[in-house]
Structure formats: C-alpha cells, structure tokens
Amino acid sequence: MTRKHKPLPLLENVTITDIAAEGKSLARVDDMVVFVPYTVPGDIVDLQVRKKRHHYCEAEVVRFLHYSEIREQPKCSHYGICGGCKWQHLPYQEQLKAKQKQVFDQLTRIGKISLPEFHPILGSKKIWEYRNKLEFGCSNKRWLTRDEVASGTTFDDMNAIGFHIAGAFDKILPIEKCWLMDDLHNQIRNSIRDYALQSGMTFYDLREQKGLLRDIMIRNSNTGEWMVLVQFHFDEPDDEAKAMGLLQHLADKFPQITSLLYVNNQKGNDTFGDLTVETFKGNDYIYEQMEDLKFKVGPKSFYQTNTEQAYHLYCVARDFAHLTGNELVYDLYTGTGTIANFVAHRAKQVIGIEYVPEAIEDAKVNSDINHIHNTLFYAGDMKDILTDTFIAEHGRPDVMITDPPRAGMHPDVVKTILRAAPGRIVYVSCNPATQARDLSELDTDYQVDAVQPVDMFPHTPHVENVCLLTRRMK
C-alpha cells in the first residue's frame, strides 16, 4: 500500500528578513527557518512549502502581498527561469553587502578565523556584459515555461538554443537575449539558430544521442577578438556538408570572428577536452591582455570569465605576496599559468603545478610569448606532485600561492604545505566555505593577516576571496 504524504503547508503573510546562501533569502516562521528564492528583505509574501526538514524548509512564492522598497526590476526577460543571475532583483550595493557578509561568516564561523584586516569587497565596474565566455546547448526538446503551458501555446518545432534547465538534463530554455556578454554574442547565437531552422538542420537529442547541432561556445577578449566553437554530432552522410554551410554562413556574416572552430563530438557528454578541434577560419586561439602581458587562450584553455575583475584579483594576490625579486614562489593549481606569469617579474623563480596537461602547455606558451624565463611548470595531481621530495629537489618556497577548485585543497596538500613552511601563503578561493575549512587546518602554523573579497560575478551569490597567511613565530 502506498504511503500517503502529509500535504505541505501554505505559509501566509510572511516577511522576508535576510539574504541566505545560494542566492536565496530567508524568513522565520515560528521556530522554522524558511529559504525562499527570488525574494529580497522586506518582501511580504504567501509561500508554498516544497521541501520540509526538522529545523528548516524550502518554499516558493505563490503571491506577493508587498514588494520591498529595495527591490529592483530584473533586466532580463529570462530572469527566474534560466536559473542564472538570481540576484537581478537585488540592488548591486546590496549584493556586495551580502557577499561581504558571506565571506566574513564563513571564515569566522566555519574556520574560526580571527580577521585582523578585512578589506571591503572589490565590486565589479561592469555589472552587465562582463563575461568573456558563454556556452549554450542545442536541443530538440525546448523547455516550456509555466505561462506557455498554462496558455496552451504550441510550437511548430521544439528546437532550441539556450541554457540547460536544472533538474531536466535534456531540456533547453531558448534564449533570445542574455545580458552577461557583449551583445554580439546574442547576434551570433540567434543567427546560428535561424540558419539551422531555415536549413532544416537537426538539433541534438540528449536521450537518443543523435542530431547534428549540439553545443556552442562563444568567447571574446579585451583585444577585440572573438572565438566561436560549434559542437556537431555527425549522424548522416550529408551532415558534414551541412555543418560546413553553417560555419561559412557565420564567417560571411560576422567578420569579427577571428577564431571559428568546430568539433565532431560522438561522446555521451558535451566535454571536448579529449577531442580534436578543427579550425574552419582564422586562428585556433585568441589573446587576452593584462598589463604588458599577453595570454594565449585556446578553446580548451581556462581563463577567468570576468577579464577586468580577474586583473584586480591577480593584483591583490601579487600585492599580498609582498615580492621583492628574490623569492621562490610555488603557484599551486596554476591553470594556464596566469598568476604565475603575472607575478614572475617580481620573483626570482615561479614554479606552477596543475592537474590538466593541456593547461600546463598553455602556461609554458604564455611564458614564451611574454619572454618570461624564470617559470617552471609541472602537470599532475597536486597531492602526487607536491611532495617532500619535489620540494627538496626544487627548493623550499618563500611564498606559496594557491588557487584550488571549489572543493578546496586535498588534506595531503595541506600537510605538505605545512611541512614546506613557506613564509607567506596567498590563498585565492572561489568558495569561501572550503577556504575556511583549509584555513582552520593551516591555523596551527599560520595566521590570517588580510582578507580581500572580490566580486567576479554580479547578480549571482558567487564570490572570490583572497587571504594572506603569514607563518607564526614559534
């Protein structure tokens, strides 16, 4: 016999009181904490509980009774549906306050860290069109919004180019205009869509693993270059000819594209790091400029997606390192060597370590094109490369810069850092929660002297944070 679940309650006349994690706000009803998306402090709402736990629940708004005075009108027509830019309704200065508080709370509550020098967050000068890279999925199963379903709207076809919907891996929300990148990217994406529809090109079916048009990646740079990579899935004998027709259309219509690339991806997922990228027009790279340095960015390269804020982030890291020209610097999780090359002219030598071999090759190229001769790069798993033997061979670092992924550093890496005993550690993080965990492990030998949050992603709850650690006197 099927067990009947108790209906979840409707909460009426609830006042939103604060900003919470993951882009949500919170309210308190009796002794229950309620997390609610797409609201701001001061909103008064009726809520339908969707998930209930012992001490908290998650709910969504069914009716606004009063709009907060600080609420802003979202700019994007896709707001609330695509899942991105969850804070468009929150004024930017309020976003910065929430991110500053998030960093402070996570370092002090999770890490139990004393913060003697906590700098105000560095906001982004550009809060729209700040990204240099976006990726779009192509699908023959477009997502229908609630309004479209309610109105009974029908479509001649269900093909779409846009963003994946969370919780529906095979559905794509069609995007007409995204405000995250220069508007040329909207023109390019919509032109691909129009050409594909007019020419009868098939769109990818994620469940059936068939269909020609699969994915699109668009990048631009502060040197004015544009890269477009289209992933195809060749099924039929004439698919390659159709694909070349689309690429020629883009080449003719958009002379701004300096790197036009494509991939035939027959895998079950959209990653192409292990696939051959073909060049249809131009170069297989673009350049980013940072001070007097040039960074070569290929289709598989990692580069911070907010170029202007990346510069400020790296300046903070370089300033925190307090380099005089005599230091041996280890740059952990170096990626394509951006930080390593950025600080190299102020150090005696910089050694970069990164898991991805292709990224290390990019790092070496970036040193070569900038005539930097005091860098060394090694590829491999951090916990396997950064060992006591490695340090004995290359020298004990004076400064360590670490910029790990969201999961933070492996415990073995933390232990090796403690044994290496650098005088200073500069910890760059995209996840202050895991940063706080790692700082608590380093706290036996290191104290946090300075903290600098940097906002890389306006209208989202994500925040970067840089900490300076100095070795305790014993």
Give me the numbers of helices (H) and strands (E) for the chain, helices first please. 11, 22
Q: At what angle do helices 184-198 and 239-253 cross, to 10 degrees?
A: 140
- Under a CB-based contact definition with an 8 Å cutoff, are residues 23 and 87 in contact? yes
DSSP state of 422: -
The residues annotated as belonging to the active site are 430
- Other Cβ atoms closer than 10 A to 114: 10
Tokens 């699109």 -> residue: 216
Q: What's the rounded Cα separation, in Å, for the pair 309 and 296? A: 18
**Burial, 4: exposed, middle or buried (Cβ in 10 Å; 0-12, 13-18, 19+)?**
exposed
Positive/negative CA dihedral, 386, 389, 391, 396? positive
Amino acid at 210: K
Q: Encoding tokens for residue 46?
A: 């009726």
* Count of Cβ atoms closer than 10 Å to residue 405 Cβ: 12
Measure the CA–CA gap between 42 and 459, rounded to whole angstroms.
19
Rounded distance between C-alpha atoms, residue 186 and residue 286, angstroms: 19
CB neighbours of 194 closer than 8 A, spacing ≥ 6? Answer: none
Contact 204, 140 (CB under 8 A): yes
Distance (Å, rounded) from C-alpha 235 to C-alpha 410?
A: 42
The C-alpha atoms of residue 343 and residue 363 are separated, in whole angstroms, by 13
In 3D space, the residue among 245, 170, 244 whose CA is nearest the CA of residue 210 turns out to be 170
Integer CA distances (angstroms), 13 to 10, 63, 65, 66, 332, in order: 10, 9, 7, 9, 51
Q: What's the token pair of residue 353?
A: 């370590």
For 398, residues 6+ apart whose C-beta sits below 8 A from its C-beta are: 326, 327, 328, 329, 422, 423, 424
Q: Could you give the CA distance from residue 283 to residue 91 in angstroms, rounded to a whole number?
A: 40
Write out the two tokens for 333: 């999780």
Angle at which helix 411-420 crosses helix 432-442, to 10 degrees, equals 40
